[in-house]
Structure 1
């Protein structure tokens, strides 16, 4: 690890209080909380098919990331001689691969592939690179973690893009059944505490998407800035109420966490769209 440690030390040789704050901000652009703000914008105001695609890809990416972290069990550089590690609250579990980097590559890779515009490419690549650099600057990941995260994120993007070519003709009931079975099977294969949350949300997002499409028929519309902003504020408030409120009410444990994230997924794809349609 000496060579990789040398890379981190070189990057940190430029450290300053201003850069500390900058990279703490940047690293949060690859956090779960940021995606909870970004994905609803697509689902509620731009394109709900794009929203469900981003949700599915990100949650499956998180599943793969947690699994690989536990299998490889590589310690983080935190505590390594000569490396300064800050904002360690953003560094849970093992080191390889970087979840922030993998998630950013997955989400922005899909966005870039969908829009194919120069400005989107510039923005997406800049965020991926900056988030990756932030994990090294903060001293919470090795360079190999960053490389692994980018490669895995890219593979997930390629799989998602190519999956779009297939048309599935199963009935709605079969799709609903699969929306439950697939996450449960993945949970049984790897019953990690984080997987309870991610698979709960994935199942609910899929179910909500199918039920909303059949019973509600919500379609994002360009209704002007004020109405769009009001819609987003209402939706985000519901997210916050479920994410924070239920955490304080429900007892600690995997089942409670799974129930909370299940409701988050259901609110994203069915609850909020139903409320928007009524309003």
Structure 2
């Protein structure tokens, strides 16, 4: 608590300050935008691996939070976090989901692309999103540091397993090895709550996705399609939130179905709607 008080005395926590905007770079919509743009501007197959480990990071974070059950700092001292900041903090505190998932997403992306610019972006973005949670009073410093560590470890694991995942992805779309894991995740979602069901649905969606389309070669056209794809993705996300019954969305199986379908519509449906041709997945990985 003393650490939070110290950093707040330096940076301040007024809702009008930029820290709420910074922390929202680790929100659902920000993650969706990152993954969608990476599909279109990076590599669809690498983005599939990124999506799988994004889902795994979110799942493990939920498991750890529900196991440790550490209260948020503002439970002990409500004055330490503004009402706006508290709205960004769901569930328990340890480890920080913003720090863990952001680290997984951006460090794995940097490992895939091996770009010094992307490494700089990954490091800066991960650090500022993570430490914004301490500044806003919704996490202890230890929550964020452990989140960083776990996120980086998952990113390293993702980079190591990428070739094996590419080989599995070359199998037939109708094969048992593709559909059985997704079905088992669906069965598991019947017995869990919304947070768990969301992570399982993301994992199932990215597992089922082939990501075998070829983005346009010209950058102007690629940027156009990326913008259209992002608009469709955000529209689908918001529409599913508005249309689906609250009880369904908040159930484990409901969240599983929602996010599995969302991923498949965005990753598989949008490219086909744009009539982008599929390419043969490489056999030399």
> So what's the TM-score if we normalise by structure 2?
0.84
Query: 1:271 aligned to 2:265?
Result: no
Tell whether 2:260 aligns with 1:262: yes
How do 1:201-220 residues align onto structure 2 when only pairs under 5 Å count?
201-207=202-208, 209-210=209-210, 213=212, 218-220=213-215
Structure 2 residue matching 1:153: 3-state secondary structure? helix
Q: Is the 8 A contact 1:39 1:51 kept in 2?
A: yes
Q: Residues 15-45 of structure 1, C-alpha deviation per residue, up to 9 Å, x if partnerless?
A: 3478952111111112221010011111123
Task: Determine the C-alpha separation between the residues in 2 that align with 1:66 and 1:50.
Answer: 25
- How far apart, CA to CA, are the structure 2 residues paired with 1:17 and 1:149? 22
The CA deviation at 1:61 is 0.5
1:44-89 C-alpha deviation (Å, 9 max, x unpaired): 2320012111111111110000111011000000143486203111
Equivalent residue for 1:245, pick from 239, 254, 274: 239
> Unpaired runs of 5+ in structure 1?
none
| Kept in 2: contact 1:205–1:268 (CA 8 A) | no
Deviations 1:98-154 (A, max 9, x none): 000001110111012122232222211111111111000000001110111011112
* 1:175 positional shift: 3.4
**CA offsets, 1:224-245, max 9 Å, x none?**
32x3343223222322332122
How many residues of Structure 1 are paired with residues of Structure 2 in the alignment? 267
C-alpha separation between the residues in 2 aligned to 1:185 and 1:165? Answer: 28
Shift in alpha-carbon separation, 1:159–1:80, aligned structure 2, 3 A: same
Please state if 1:131 is matched with 2:129. yes
Residue 119 of structure 2 corresponds to residue 121 of structure 1 = yes
Measured in 1, the distance between the counterparts of 2:230 and 2:78 equals 42
TM-score computed with the length of structure 1 as normaliser: 0.86
Partner residue in 1 for 2:8: 12
- Aligned-residue CA RMSD (Å): 2.4
For 1:132 and 1:202, the matched residues in 2 are separated by 23
Tell me which of 219, 227, 235 is aligned to 1:224: 219
Q: Is the 1:9–1:82 contact (alpha carbons within 8 Å) kept by the matching residues of 2?
A: no
Select 1:33's aligned residue among 29, 34, 37.
29
1:174 matched to 2:176? The reply is: yes
- The question of whether the paired residues in 2 share the 8 Å contact of 1:183 and 1:200 is answered with yes
Residue number among 51, 56, 64 corresponding to 1:55 in the alignment: 51
